[in-house]
Each structure stands twice: as structure tokens, then as C-alpha cells.
Structure 1
Amino acid sequence: MHTHSSSLLALACIAFAAPAAAQATFYENGNYQGRSMQANNPVPRFDRYGFNDRSSSVVVTGNRWEVCEDVNFQGNCVVLRPGRYPSLAAMGLNDRVSSARVVARSARVDDERYAPRPLPAQATFYERRDFAGQSFTTTGAIARFQRYGFNDRATSAVVIGERWEVCEDARYRGRCVVLRPGRYPTLATMGLNDRVSSARTVTQNNRIDDDRYAPEPVAIYDSRRRGGERLYEAEVTSARAVLATSGQRCWVEREQLGQQGNANVPAALAGALIGGILGHQVGGGTGKDIATVGGVIAGAALGANVGRDGQPVTQDVERCRDVPGGARPAFWDVSYTFRGQEHRMQMASAPGQRVTVNERGEPRQ
């Protein structure tokens, strides 16, 4: 995977006199990585710019854009609303975009022509590694985690929709790190384990230096059902548990001594959006073909524990326990066959005899 460039260097940058309000930036790799191509006006042939069948993610600003698998806006076409799309696989266009154009504001578009809505901007922080323990979910800036009883407690995180800046001091001060959308099983690699005190989204047009980014996350896989999409059942051919590594796990539990207040930060929809399906791969493809891993091991509980109004009296207690290898599966590696083609995916729990897929064999919740 190519290194992210703070200046979004384009392999081919299409500069037109059209307003910048209508713009689409296509990326070679998922999660907005690799080389990119920026367009402000219709592009009937991506091959003229060396970017045919190379797009894996896209950021759309201003107006809606129509992206098509054939030149001159032919073949399978999908309309993208403004937003960030970390993977085009969900709409069947990964490495298949050959043309794109702006959709007029007054144009009516049938619902079935739209791609799934972009994931909302949201961050969920967990008090233990691997998305375990109590959690705190927010869709807006949090200047003081202390107000919600979660100061210096975050040990892992899931970020969706937009980039988030997390800081060790209140009001976005002290050491700050930018998290791309994805799953971060531990914040220790960026020196922020049990040290996050504030967080906020980073706007799409805000340029970030490479050294401010956290290490690459495991990106989000969106397994939501698309509007009008027909679903099928596929036979599971094999399932194996990938065991967690052994070792001692320690964490700090904050024991509350005072009275809890009412939750005042809305728990968002991430549990429903990216629950138990962690990733998808078709056959024996290359690394670029592997759909990015996403979801949450405890997806159903995502957002269940949110911030609190008051400032209860608490004390920090460190606890440790030995976790032998094989104590529990980290995830399940599942193979299934659909219409004569083999697929693989990762799941948070053991599958049944069948799994739900769409007409392309992509897993659905």
C-alpha cells in the first residue's frame, strides 16, 4: 500500500474552471490511500489519465456524482451523495470505475441508483484492548472527556466516516494524533493508551502532515443492506477460529463512588451498521482485493455505554489477568461458495451453516 500523502498528490489531476464545490477525488487503494485523481468536471474516459479501473475509494464534495464501470457513462452506474466512501466494493465498483460526472442539482435520481449513504462521522472509545469493556460513543467534538466519566480511560477505538483528532489534554491540547476511519485494537502504539482527554472530527479539506497520523488502522467493512438489494443464502464450506495470542492483559478500571447521571451523548448506529462481519475477500485475490476489515467484536454493544452528565467521584484501579492463547477466538475465518465462486470473510462469532450475501456474493448483515 502506498504511503498517504498530506498533499493528496494525484497521479493525474484534472484541473478545470468549474467551481470546486462539485468535486470527486478517487483513490487507488481503500480508505483513501495510494495515488489519487481529482475531478471537477465530467470525465468520460479515466484511461486518458492513467486511472482506468483503479479506483478503490472516493471522497465526494458539493454535488452528487455518477460513477460508471464503462467509458462515456455506460454500463453499471451508481450515484454517490457527498461524503467519504472508504470502499467501492460495497457498490460493485472496486477497481472498475471508467467514467464519472456531476449530477445536476435539479436531476431526480431513483433510490435504487444511489450507493449506500456514506458512513456518519463517529468515534467509539473502549476502556480495554480489542474493543472490550465499557465504551463511549460520540458523533461530535468532546472538549473534556472528564465531563462524561471517560477521561484517560480509552484503550482502543473505532472511527467511522471521518478522521478524528484525539488529544491527551482537554480542549485539544497536548499531544494530539489523527485517526483515519478504521479499527484501532490498541492506542498504545501511538502513546495514547489511557491518556485521551478530548477528541474532534477533522474536516475533509483540512490538510494533515504525515507525522500527525496514527499507524494505519484496520479499515471499516460496511455490510449494510443496500436499498432494494436482493439477498441470498450461501453455504458455508469451512470455518476456523483464529485464536487470540497469549499473554497478560492489564487495564485501569475507574470505580465510581458517586451517583451516575443520565446519558447525554447519543449512542450512534455503528452497532447496526458494522456489527459482526469483519471483512470479505473473493477467492484467492491479492492484498488489494481483500475488503478492509471492519465492524466490532462486540458490535451489538457498540454505543451501549455513553457519556454521563455529572462528574461522579471515581478512583482508578489497575487490574491484570493472564490470557492464554486459545482462551477465545480473536475472529472466525469463514469460507463459503456462491454461484460457483469461493469467498472468504472474517466474522466476530462462529457462523451457522449458511450466510447471507447479495447477488455478488458480498456478505450482508
Structure 2
Amino acid sequence: MGKIIIYEHANFRGVSREITSDISNLGRLDFNDIISSVKVIGQPWVAYEHINYSGRLMVLEEGEHNYVGRSMNDTISSLQMITEDLHNPQITLYEHPNYQGKSRVIREATNLAAGFDNDIMSSHKVQRGAWLLCEHSDGSGIQYIAREKDNLPHYSAIYLNDKLSFLRPLRPGQQLCPGGIALSSPQPCSWHPGCHPAPRGRNSNSRSPAEMGRIILYEHTNFQGLSKEFTSDIANLRDADWNDLASSAKVIGQPWVLYEHSNYGGRFLVLEEGDHSFFGTKLNNKISSLQMITEDLSNPEITLYEHANYQGKSRVVREATNLAAGHDNDIMTSHKVQRGVWLLCEHSDGSGIQYLARERENLPNYKAINFNDKLSFLRPLRAGRSY
């Protein structure tokens, strides 16, 4: 199922040992308190500070770990492999001991600190997989490994009662053949004649019609940290444990609008199809609701009017337009949207007061949006690709 190669020094240098099963005391291998780096193949391993799988712990998932970190360097005394099937994890948390009170089923990495359930859980039942439970939202503090079929009636036993802020399932490693070759590898295994490469998956760029509009939020800039995919509007990201947490996003298909407050209120940010590595300082870690643009954006049109109630001079606009560079700057007072969705901006550089005008919207007076005689720039939202 897997193996771990432990090294005496950082960057995989010095004496090394390969281990394929649990070991409760590394002193028996003359390797107690000397591990500084490891390579993990297949299933995850848990490294413990003390013998018999006790003390502080560190989860080591598949890959190369060139340094185990200052807190665990040269302090590891026992190792345990995670043997559970990790492909479809599920844990149920309970508000009170003995599985009482409010309950919540979780199937993915979840930051409870960004929702309604921070520091209130007191017991759990693990249906599938293995889970890392953490005291703090950044994964630090007290940690506990909850394994499949682990029913823990009271978190006081692990010093986590009303302290749980973050949890995530452990990630499965590649399945290995008896010769130790990953079954997803294109290389046949010379040790095991019955082993053949896994078939290639479908092209990752192919998407079903159900995936025409989605957004993937990331906890940190440059698509780092926790992530979560959304395919429909959400009025309060606290319901998904994602309030005031997002810093970057990837948009596939139709544009999305990210709002500062719940129920689509406050300042907003329009994200069209593509990768957005940073939201900017004004809205970083401040997003509380999401809304997908569902209109047909391929042939946009809006009519602007000089006076309230669609009176006075009118102008039909079908493309991005800088009114400040012409005769109609700061004179428009009402509009009718024939097609598409439009971003209206107070200043010609897109800054200042902003407003989203949606298809079939007739707005008789810009005073209602604090925009009277202030419009300098507008543009239609860009359509995403069709799949």
C-alpha cells in the first residue's frame, strides 16, 4: 500500500531507511530522534514525537518532504501508516458529548472558523477515511488523527472540547502494484509481469455542460491553501465556512460577482473567466457572498438617458465606452438594459462608485444608486466560453 524512506539529514542526505509497516519505536532501527527529511510513496504516514504513537504528530502525505520542520526535526520516535481507503471521506461532528445536539456531516477540508460552528464541537463519528482535526484554523495547536470507524464520545479526552476550528481528510496516495510501481505510471513494472500502465484519463480541458459556470475560491493568493468550488449563488459564505477567507479564484465559464457582505451587499468585484491570483487589498479576505451572472452576454446593449424617467438625450451603447473622453460625461441619469449585463463606474479608470445593470433592468433615476450625473465609464461583462 505504501512505504516511507526516512533520512538522517535535510534534503534527503545522510543515512536512510525504507519502512513499509508501522514501527512503534524507531530505536529498534537505530533511528530514534534523528529524522530530518522523508519521501512518501503511496498512502500517508503519521510521524509521532514519542514511542507507541504518542506526543505531537506530523502527517506526511505522498511526495518528497525535504525538511520535517523545526518542531519535529530530530524528534520523531514512531511511525504509523494510514491504511484506510481515503477516496470518499466522511465524518459527522456533534455539538455535545455522546453524539448529541447539532450535527454536521463533512466530506472535505473545512475551516470552521469561517462559519457558524467554530469551537462548539464535542464529539464525532468517522464513517470513512482518516481526518486531521486541528485546534486553530491554520492547522496549528492541538492535533488529532480520527480514523475510520473512530467514534469519539467526548473531545475532553483529546483536549479539543469546544476547540475544533479546522479539519481535513488525509489525501490518498497512488495505488502501488506488488512491484512498488504506481499503477498510474506509464512505465510497466519489470518486477511484476501482470502490471500494466493505467489507461490515460480524458483530457482535463474537456468539461460537461453542467460545468458551464463555476468558480473555485482559494484561501491564499496565487491559488494556495484551502480551495472550494461553487456552481450556484450563495448568499452567505459563512454557510460554507468560507466567510472573509478568499484571496484568489479561478473562473470557468460565466462571470461571477463577489460581494463584501452577505446577501450580495457592499462593495463588489467582477471576476470574468480566467485565473485571478489576488483580489486586491480592498477585498482580500472580505468576500461574504457570491453570485453567478446567468444572462446571455454575447450581444450586449444598454440605452442611457440624460434625464430621469428616460427623458432627454439618449444614447445606445454596445461596447466598453469611456464617456469622459466624449460629450456625455457626468450627464446621464437613467437607463434601460436591453441585453447583457453592464458594469457602470463613476470614474473613467473604473474606480469609485460601481453598479451592475442586469438584463431587462429599467432604472428611472440614478439618485437611487447615488449615481446621478456621475457616470464616466461603462462596459459589458464578457461572456465565458461555451462547453
Q: TM-score range by the shorter chain?
A: under 0.3
Q: Rg: which structure is higher?
A: 2
When normalised by structure 2's length, the TM-score is 0.25
